[in-house]
Amino acid sequence: MKDKKTKEKKIKLNIIPAPHIGGSMSTGKMMRLTLLALLFPCFGAVYFFGVRVIYLFLCCISASLISEYAALKMRKAPLSTESFSSAAVTGVILALILPPGFPLWAAFIGAVFAILIVKHVFGGLGKNIFNPALMGRAFLAAAFPLIITQYAMTPRSLPYGLSPGLHSDAVSEATPLNRIKFEEKTPGSSFYIPYLLGERKGSAGETSGILILIGLAVLLLSGAADWRLPLSYFTSIAVFSGILWLFAPDKFINPIFTLLLGGVFLGGTYMVTDPVTTPASPKGKLVFGIGSGFLTVLIRTFSGYPEGVMFAILLMNAAVPLIERYTSPRIYGT
Amino acid sequence: MLKKEFIKGLWKENPVLRQLLGMCPTLAVTTSSLNGAAMGLATTFVVLSSGIVVSILRKIIPPQVRIPVFAVIIATFVTIADIVLKAHFPLISRELGPYVPLIVVNCLIMGRQEAFTSKNPIHLSIADTLGMGLGFTWLLVLLGSIREIMGMGTVFGMRIMPSTFEEWIIMVLPAGAFITLGLLAAFYNMINEKKMRS
């Protein structure tokens, strides 16, 4: 009898911390949408650079998945679908920002570094400070500086055959940004349309601006990315390079080429919108985008590197805690 | 007692992995195994000799001015080490550059005087500083060897990697030092944790 009484007295109270209103977006859904949006530049990469790029994709994705599995096992963390889909996203993005003819063994090392060191050493999914794919590429650029500049191929110069190796007739040339930087050859205005479509040398997935913009539209319309980040990034690049161009049109390239060349579209679509390594507050997002754009123009114009998107975004990644600190909205009642 | 004081510096209280002291030479000069060994041995010489002198003088050093006194004693031996290296091993001396005179501010050395030799008799001080110095040295050699193998394909100047091996340039850059040291410290903690549990 006594037992029954105490049972009746127990009131069912579930204490749940705020927030009490949830959105429909989940990590898994966000990753699926990102993978969907990534399909467009992937098609572009295969169209422009041939079947070999598929090997690059398979290599990067399998390396990321294997290292994700190993890292989760080592940390005795649950093997969640979200972790694996985020690792797959990292693999795809890494393949997109590598040169199309990049050796597969080196791409494998880059993907393993991205997942094991950049992502899991800092605590795994949602806790990494730097964008893993970009850091993977930065690592490869620092480890193999010669290889990474050697394999920027002319579109369609790679054989369409199934061999993962490179034929001797594959043409490797300086990218347009390299030529602007080191040979001071600025392309004419007749190149706007071909460059927007993707007819140029560069990393596997960065060349076709139009396909990347379709991917960006998918991300924005489905709500997987915040419009503030890409918009502020593109605008700030256009504004800062525009200022330089107005001062000395013959010395600096115009803002349209600044946007079209290199990895601006790819970076602005898939890396600046990374929810893990960018600020959460709306104001912070604008600061992040403007800062990344400013640094991109700064590095491109005044440093020894022809391209600055990667370092600009990584530097801003490091500044995110600071941005959050000054832009977080005041908590009610404090 | 003597053995215990000597052994602890090698693993349990390793100056680099456990105390995280002397990071500046650890990261800066370990681009090759030889540089690591030279820096480690020079540091061992300085910490051992200054440890002996501090231990002898420990009762007459006024506690209020002990840090400047330690610094003068350490600086004396650093100068000796610097001059000896310059005279007998000019190549290594040039490679290590300003990091030999900088041994004087290595916190590992000052830390040993402050924590141990100024409070303990001479025989224990010798055991302690020698252990710490060798603990510092073996880690610097290991770090330098890993970086040299990955970054240049050689160890102590001898090529051991196959000719098809592509050198990881990043490993001889400062970033490689940070990554390698971080991973080594992580493995050190992992091994210790396993030991603790079993």
First to last CA, chain B: 25
Reported ipTM: the value is 0.86
Which stretch, A5-9, A23-27, B57-61, has highest mean pLDDT?
B57-61
Name beta bridge partners: A172: A153
Residue of higher predicted confidence among A251 and A230: A230
Q: What mean pLDDT do residues A296-313 have?
A: 90
pLDDT digits (tens, 9 = 90+) for A38-61: 999 999 998 888 888 899 999 999
Inter-chain CB proximity A139 and B170 less than 8 Å: yes
B contact test, residue of A121, A130, A150, A311 with most B CBs within 10 A? A121
B contact test, residue of A75, A112, A118, A144 with most B CBs within 10 A? A144
Q: How far is CA A191 from the centre of its chain?
A: 25
- Quick one: angle between helices A27-49 and A52-75, nearest 10? 150
Under DSSP, the state recorded for A144 is -
**The pLDDT value given to residue A291:** 96
Measure in Å the smallest separation between the Cα of B170 and chain A Cα atoms: 4
Measure in Å the smallest separation between the Cα of A159 and chain B Cα atoms: 25
Q: What percent of chain B has pLDDT over 70?
A: 100
**The pLDDT value given to residue A17:** 79
Amino acid at A168: S
pLDDT at A186 over 80: no
Name beta bridge partners: A153: A172
Q: How far is CA A274 from the centre of its chain?
A: 7
Pairwise CA distance, residues B99 & B36, whole Å = 11
Inter-chain CB proximity A121 and B175 less than 8 Å: no
Q: Which chain A residue lies closest to B147 (C-alpha atoms)? A: A143
For the record, the structure tokens of B89 come out as 């091993």
**The pLDDT value given to residue B162:** 87
**Is the CB of residue A48 less than 8 Å from the CB of residue A198?**
yes
**Residue A70 — very low, low, confident or very high, per pLDDT cuts 50/70/90?**
very high
Measure in Å the smallest separation between the Cα of B3 and chain A Cα atoms: 36
**B169 interaction partners in chain A (CB closer than 8 Å):** 142-145
CB pairs A-B closer than 8 Å: 18
Q: What percent of chain A has pLDDT over 90?
A: 51
**The pLDDT value given to residue A168:** 47
pLDDT at A149 over 90: no
Q: How far is CA A271 from the centre of its chain?
A: 3
> pTM to 2 decimals?
0.87
**Residue A89 — very low, low, confident or very high, per pLDDT cuts 50/70/90?**
very high
Element (H, E) at B191: helix B174-197
pLDDT at A155 over 90: no
Q: Which string of b and e fits A49-59 if b means at least 16 CB within 10 Å?
A: bbebbbbbbeb
pLDDT at A3 over 70: no
pLDDT digits (tens, 9 = 90+) for B47-71: 999 999 999 999 999 999 999 999 9
pLDDT digits (tens, 9 = 90+) for B106-129: 989 999 999 999 999 999 999 999
Element (H, E) at B154: strand B154-155
Count of CA atoms in the C-beta half-sphere (13 A) of B1: 7
**Residue A332 — very low, low, confident or very high, per pLDDT cuts 50/70/90?**
confident
Count of CA atoms in the C-beta half-sphere (13 A) of A41: 35
